[in-house]
Amino acid sequence: MSGETLTPELVYSLLLMSMAGVTAWWSRYVIENIVALRIAVFVGVSSSIFMLINIPG
């Protein structure tokens, strides 16, 4: 690997995916809201798919 960097899209996708993971955990165990949990999981999965599609190579 020689000098590969993360594009801004990948950085934002990683940030959104990690925030969605924390939100999903919070929704499940702390506030016990299944609707918020499903939304957080959808956002996390969508951002990970977006990240996989946009990986340069």
pLDDT tens track of the chain, all 57 residues? Answer: 455 678 888 889 899 999 999 999 999 999 889 999 999 999 999 999 998 888 766
Q: Are 3 and 56 in contact (CB under 8 A)?
A: no
Q: Are 20 and 30 in contact (CB under 8 A)?
A: no
For the chain, give every domain's residue range.
8-53
> What is the pTM (predicted TM-score) of this model?
0.78
Q: Are 20 and 39 in contact (CB under 8 A)?
A: no
What residue type is 5 in one-letter code? T
How far apart CA 10 and CA 49 sit, in angstroms, is 11
**Residue 2 pLDDT:** 52
